[in-house]
Chains A and B, each alone.
Chain A
Amino acid sequence: MKKVATYCYQCVAGPDLLTVKVADGVATEVEPNFSAADVHPGGGKVCVKAYGLVQKTYHPDRVLRPMKRTNPKKGHGEDPRFVPISWDEALDTVAAKLADVRARGLVDESGYPRVAASFGGGGTPQSYMGSFPAFLSAWGPVDMGFGSGQGVKCYHSEHLYGELWHRGFTVSPDTPLTNYLISCGANVEASGGVAGVWRHANARERGMKRVQVEPHLSVTGACSAEWVPIKPKTDAAFLYALLHVMLHEAPREKLDLEFLYRHTSSPYLVGANGFYLREPATGQPIVAAALEAKETHVSLETGADGELLAEGSLEGETAFAKLVAHMKPYSPEWAERICDVPAARVRRIANEYLDAACVGQTIEIEGKTLPYRPVAVSLGKTVTNGWGGYECCWARTLLAALVGALETPGGILGTTVRLNSPLSQRQRSVRSGPDGLMGHPFNPTDKAHWSAQPNIRNAYRSMVPLVGDNAWSQALGPTHFSWMFLDQTPPGLPRVTLPDVWFLYRTNPAISFWDTQAIEERMARFPFVVAFAFTRDETNHFADLLLPDATDLESLQLIRIGGSKFIEQFWDREGFALRQPAIAPRGEARDFTDIATALAQRTGLLEPYNAAINRGTLGVRLGDFALDTARAHPAEEIWDAACKAASFELSEGKEANGLAWWKEHGLATRPFPRTAWYLFPTLAVKGLRFEMPYQERLLRVGTELGRRLHEHGMTWWDKQLAEYQALPAYKDFPGEWEQALVAMGGALQDYPFWLLTSRSMQYAWGGNVGMQFIKEVADNVAGHSGVILNAGRAKELRIEEGDWLEIATPKRSVRARAVLRQGIRPDTLLLLGQFGHWETPVAKDFGMPSMNSLVPMSLELTDATGSAADIARVSLRKAA
């Protein structure tokens, strides 16, 4: 028996470092990598999903040979009639298609890439696809904007606005220090991975009070000190009321006035037209002498497109003063009517937060004295995406800023950057921008540079300035446009076309996107689909080729670990970990790197492919260990070079350990300073301010975007343009989904329930849904066998545990068994996870539906960032 060190990165809360026991060439058991206990912030433990890897490897329904479709008709009810073929035939077929594309031009008549690729959420497939990114890089333009969940259904507003405000693509409490946490729908016990669970357990035992605000009592609510059962999608009202209490009821000195004045844009003077007053000579915003002031200065007020709105002796009011006036109407009594949370409770929570903020206190970390502000607000999915997402993210960031808990010990931290570079070094991504604020790579909205010619089908560059234009931006645009506009492209955009070739890996949009039936119908029209396949599933049902890659325990890859990334993944170490074959690949499955190399060879792209690897596409620049670009290298050779380069980087040139060393040791790390978790000191040193509370930049960008769109006859984005407010007002966010119901022909009284979803930790990100082992243990957690509804409400409706129910919108319906619980609002239904499988082995027999098929895909429900939310108004009745 031997133990092989490797990692699990099946969801973004990874990587977990583990060992696999192998006896006689058979993988038998997963264990934590006990040697990583001091390296990993979760004690080196491994989440439940990784324990399914053994069964995944030996799954009886694995695709073990390349297969081709023999039924040219595609459709839900069409049997693809896959038949086995050789690898040579499979690769030749793909290469021939790609050669044809290259001959006809890499982009089509609409200017869109003819090749598209979709990968599963959060970039996690990259930790399994070996050198395939180097092949895509060598290929040229690829449309990676066909959504399968990312973009529309992620923490989208947090990603975009969080990164703008504090390099917080993902945002986390500084859990090791936070003492008071308001968690609006954030389900960290299910979604925060091992590090999240471990740290929050420590925090609870330490005495951190967590107030869980959400319509149902999630596992995180269960582990919280208090549950506030708020009406769905009204979180912004709750947060606004907290701000109201802090600004209008609490003594001003309870706030961190120093932080607000010195480190935020609060003292900037705002002119009569809503833009900053600026020094005539420098164009810089004028900073008032006090936080709350009206001052008159000889100044300029410049609006969108550089338009001079006013000049001379102008009166301005500080951004903070405008904020105070803006929040006046949002009292706890006002919020009570919207949120169904008693005003007294809102007020108490606001005051508890203030009392716990420790304004004025400091802490010493690694010899540096920093502000100590142990209070935080975390936001979950459906709160941070779709209409209301902007308002919630703004309110949350402002709640931190008011007490100086933004990027300071104990407060809220951005833990990842994705739209700025360098991706792996958040601190270095801080660059000076205009107006004494951090720079952000907005897509241009000025007349000279805005483009009505998108580079990919979801048009992120034209429609969403905030999302920037790097490798991640494609997947963070309005990814449903690629699907939705296939039938009818709105005026101003080139006609959305089908890609000639679509690559799929570890993604299943036919299950995980919204309006999944509509997705299926469109997918069936794709002319040539290549799916790297583990088993058959609902998306590769429409594929032309299935290619079996060697799976988690069978293949080779080196990844970066540690540093700061994803929500709770901020570590005290950083380095690399190796995934290595614990056993030989089953059947004819091939290492993904070897597949990528073979494709590069067959398409004549070997040289640029190797060059891309040398440049650092594998996550580390190869430098002195660069590959000979003229020849094909086996996977072991490629990763040996990567291992040496990684070792060289980690040891600052002292070592160059190759693959053999990494296979033996599994990982290597070096310290990552804790002070690097906090951005506040970096901004302070650079003399930059956090852009809070007033969003002059967004107002300017939104105004310009509106002008550009209108100049091109594009009025269909007007509703979204209204989101660009400098101080966002509360809107009737639940009303958006109520209107959607009415638009579908429903009457509200006939569809009285709010249908929500919630993370299942056991199935998070879906890659293990076909494991009997996971199903068995997941069923111990309520909600995995049906729809959760309030037991009292069920009694009124004469529904009993286990009854078959029909959940419906006017357009579609699903069936689920009743799971009766007390921990859910009487007006709310909950379907855990994303199921509804009809092809994936094992999962298709669960009898568990998904809300995804019920949520309409519509422009009306799309916010300005291009995102929507998992929520729908539905009816409920006993099924016949």
Chain B
Amino acid sequence: MTTWAMVADLRRCVGCQTCTAACKQTNDTPVGVQWRRVLDMEVGEYPDVRRAFVPVGCMHCDDPPCMHVCPSTATRKRADGIVTIDYDLCIGCAYCAVACPYQARYKSSEDAKRPDVATKCTFCVERIDAGLAKGLTAGVDPEATPACVNSCIAQALHFGDVADTTSNVSALLAENQHFRMHEELGTGPRFYYLWDKAP
């Protein structure tokens, strides 16, 4: 069964925010709303300090806390793993924004293109569906690939089907050491971070 996932290679990301910009433009998000963004983090103290760039957004969890708290069933999980929001059902209560441990959800304002609803990264689901319908491969063919991945100038972001052992992302996960964010929470995030070659 197809399971879409995002893979971010932390060795490659330079924090340029090109993905942030591409996402904003493709998805036409309002000012201040960034479904994809890259954190600029520091660890340690001078002079023993490291700075790292970490792309974040909706993790499309296996067991999404946002879905469980949604009183209107607007948030759902597709069979292919993508967590969706039905804007017609969403009542904009923002419970999901509070429940999300990844701070990935935004409550839109009244005058937004999607007014008074919760919004977040969709993995560019329309693009994937349209691309697949044309027989394209998500994560490989640009027309079937999320905008952030298409835009990445460092080849840090990858997208694909982790259930397919021959896919691009499966190969990356097999060849490299990786982690997922807040894995201890049991949410099963579908966003993997590579940090070194596999031993």
A823-B42, A823-B49 in contact; A198/B16 too (CB < 8 A)? no
Listed A/B pairs (19) with beta-carbon separation below 8 Å: A31-B22, A31-B150, A31-B151, A42-B153, A47-B153, A51-B18, A51-B24, A54-B25, A217-B49, A223-B14, A223-B53, A762-B17, A773-B25, A776-B32, A777-B24, A777-B37, A780-B37, A792-B46, A823-B51
B154–A201 touching, CB < 8 Å: yes
A773 touching B142, Cβ below 8 Å: no
B199 at the interface (CB under 8 A from A): no
Residue among B15, B142, B151, B153 making CB contact with A198, cutoff 8 Å: B153
Contact string, A194-217, partner B, CB cutoff 8 A, digits 1/0? 100110011011000000000001
Contact B16 A48 (CB under 8 A): yes
A189 within 8 A of B: yes
Nearest A residue to B21, CB-CB? A51
Write out the residue numbers on chain A whose beta carbons fall within 8 Å of the beta carbon of B25. Answer: 28-30, 51, 54, 773
B11 interface contact, C-beta 8 A: yes
B151, A45: Cβ atoms closer than 8 Å:
yes
Q: Is the CB of A790 within 8 A of B46?
A: yes
A858 in the interface (beta carbon within 8 A): no
Is A524 close to B, CB under 8 A?
A: no
A776: B residues at CB distance < 8 A? 24, 31-32, 34
- The answer for the CA separation of A198 and B9 in the assembled complex, in Å, is 13
Q: A222 with B52: in contact, given A194-B153, A198-B155 (CB under 8 Å)? A: yes
- B38 is an interface residue with CB less than 8 A from chain A: yes
In the complex, what distance in Å separates the CA atom of A823 from the CA atom of B41?
10
- B:1-30 near A, CB below 8 Å: 9, 11-12, 14-18, 20-22, 24-26
Top 4 A-B residue pairs of the complex, sorted by shortest distance between their CB atoms: A222-B51, A51-B21, A201-B12, A777-B17
- Tell me the nearest residue of chain A to B142, going by C-beta: A34
- Cβ contact within 8 Å between B47 and A197: no
Residues on A lying within 8 angstroms of B by beta carbon are 28-32, 34, 42-43, 45-48, 51-52, 54, 189, 194, 197-198, 201-202, 204-205, 217, 219, 221-223, 227, 229, 761-762, 772-774, 776-778, 780-782, 790-792, 821-826
- Shortest distance from the beta carbon of A645 to any chain B beta carbon, whole Å: 32
Cβ-based interface call for B50 (8 A): yes
Complex CA–CA separation, A31 to B26 (angstroms): 9
Excluding A42-B153, A51-B25, 8 further A-B contacts by CB distance (< 8 Å) are: A34-B142, A52-B21, A198-B155, A219-B15, A761-B16, A776-B32, A777-B17, A822-B45
Contact B151 A46 (CB under 8 A): yes
User: Contacts A34-B142, A51-B22, A51-B25: A781 and B155 contacting too (C-beta < 8 A)?
Assistant: no
Whether B17 and A205, one on each chain, are in contact in the complex, defined by CB atoms closer than 8 angstroms, is no
Question: A29–B26 contact, CB under 8 A?
Answer: yes
User: Are the C-beta atoms of A198 and B154 separated by less than 8 Å?
Assistant: yes
- Chain B residue contacts of A761, Cβ below 8 A: 16
Q: Can you name the residue of chain B whose Cβ is closest to the Cβ of A217? A: B51
Task: For the complex formed, measure the closest distance between the CB of A14 and the CB atoms of chain B, giving whole angstroms.
Answer: 12
Q: Which residues of B contact A (CB under 8 A)?
A: 9, 11-12, 14-18, 20-22, 24-26, 31-32, 34, 37-40, 42, 44-47, 49-53, 142, 147, 150-156
Residues in A neighbouring B49, C-beta threshold 8 A:
217, 227, 822-823
Min CB–CB distance B62 → chain A (angstroms)? 28
Look across to chain A and name the residue whose beta carbon is closest to the beta carbon of B143: A34
A222 vs B51: C-alpha distance in the bound complex, in angstroms?
A: 5
Residue ID in chain B nearest A52 by CB atoms: B21
B51 contacts across to A, CB distance below 8 A? 217, 219, 221-222, 823
The answer to whether A47 touches B16, judged by C-beta atoms less than 8 angstroms apart, is yes
Nearest-CB distance from B19 to chain A (Å)? 9
CB-based contact B26/A43 at 8 Å? no
Q: What's the nearest-Cβ distance from chain A to residue B152, in Å?
A: 7
Docked complex Cα distance between A773 and B11 (Å): 27
Could you tell me the distance in whole angstroms from the C-beta of A44 to the nearest C-beta in chain B? 10
Neighbouring A residues of B147 by C-beta, 8 Å? 31
Give, as a whole number of angstroms, the nearest-CB distance from B78 to chain A. Answer: 25
Question: Does A781 lie within 8 Å of B142, measured CB to CB?
Answer: no
Q: B20 contacts which chain A residues (CB < 8 A)?
A: 48, 777, 780
**Contact partner of A823 among B22, B26, B46, B152, CB < 8 A?**
B46
Beta-carbon contact of B21 and A777 below 8 Å: yes
Complex partner residue of A780 from B17, B151, B154, CB under 8 angstroms: B17
Partner of B12, one of A42, A205, A772, A782: A205
Instruction: Please give the distance in Å from B179's CB to the nearest CB on chain A.
Output: 18
Across the interface, do B40 and A781 meet the contact criterion of CB distance under 8 Å? Answer: yes
Contact A45 B24, CB 8 Å, known A51-B18, A823-B42, A824-B46: no
Min CB–CB distance B126 → chain A (angstroms) = 14
- Nearest CB in chain B to that of A34: its residue: B142
With contacts A45-B152, A781-B17 known, is A772 near B42, CB below 8 A?
no
Cα distance, A223 to B13, chains bound together (Å): 8
Q: With the chains together, A825 CA to B18 CA distance in Å?
A: 29
Are A204 and B11 closer than 8 Å at their CB atoms?
yes
Q: Report if A201-B40 is in contact (Cβ < 8 Å); known contacts: A46-B18, A48-B21, A823-B51.
A: no
**A773/B14 contact (C-beta < 8 A), A47-B153, A781-B40 known:** no
Nearest chain A CB to B43's CB is how many angstroms away?
8
Contact indicator B21/A781 (Cβ below 8 Å): no
Chain A min CB distance to B49 (Å): 4
B21 with A773: CB separation less than 8 A: yes
**B15 is contacted by which of A28, A194, A222, A772 (Cβ under 8 Å)?**
A222
- Supposing A32-B150, A781-B40, A822-B45 touch, asked if A48 and B155 sit within 8 A by C-beta, the answer is no
B194 → A minimal CB distance (Å)? 9
Report the separation of the CA atoms of residues A205 and B34 in the bound assembly, to the nearest whole angstrom: 28
Chain B contacts of A51 at CB under 8 A?
18, 21-22, 24-25, 151
Q: Which residue of A lies closest to B26 (CB)?
A: A29
The answer to whether A791 and B46 have CB atoms under 8 Å apart is yes
* Chain B min CB distance to A437 (Å): 39
Chain A min CB distance to B185 (Å): 24
Whether A43 lies near B15 (C-beta < 8 A) is no
Is A201 in contact with B155, judged by CB distance below 8 angstroms? yes
Chain B residues lying within 8 Å of A791, measured Cβ to Cβ, are 45-46
User: Which of A43, A52, A781 has the most chain B CB within a 10 Å cutoff?
Assistant: A781
Q: Smallest CB–CB gap between A348 and chain B, Å?
A: 16
A807 to B50, CA, bound (A): 27
In angstroms, Cα B154 to Cα A845, docked, is: 32
Residue picked from B20, B24, B47, B52, most chain A C-beta under 10 Å: B47
Contact between A792 and B45, CB atoms less than 8 A apart: yes
Contact yes or no, A197 B50, CB < 8 A: no
Whether A222 lies near B155 (C-beta < 8 A) is no
Instruction: Decide if A822 touches B24 in the complex (CB within 8 Å).
Output: no
A822 and B16 in contact (CB under 8 A), knowing A47-B153, A205-B11? no
Closest CB-CB distance, B124 to chain A, in whole Å?
A: 12
A45 touching B46 in the complex, CB below 8 Å, given contacts A54-B25, A777-B20: no
Bound CA–CA A229/B48 (angstroms): 10
Let me know if A189 and B152 touch, CB within 8 A: no
The CA of A31 and the CA of B152, in the complex, are separated in Å by: 11
Contacts of B42 in A (CB 8 A): 217, 821-823
Q: A29-B26, A51-B22, A194-B153 are in contact. Are A780 and B46 (CB under 8 A)?
A: no
Instruction: Determine the distance from Cα of A229 to Cα of B49 in the docked complex, in whole angstroms.
Output: 11
Is B24 within 8 A of A773, CB to CB? yes
**Residues on the A chain within 8 Å of B12, using CB:** 201, 204-205
Residue among A48, A223, A227, A824 making CB contact with B17, cutoff 8 Å: A48
Assembled-state Cα–Cα distance A697/B150 (Å): 51
- A761 to B52 Cα, complex, angstroms: 16
Once bound together, how far apart are the Cα atoms of A822 and B47, in whole Å? Answer: 7
**CA distance in complex: A762, B14 (Å):** 12
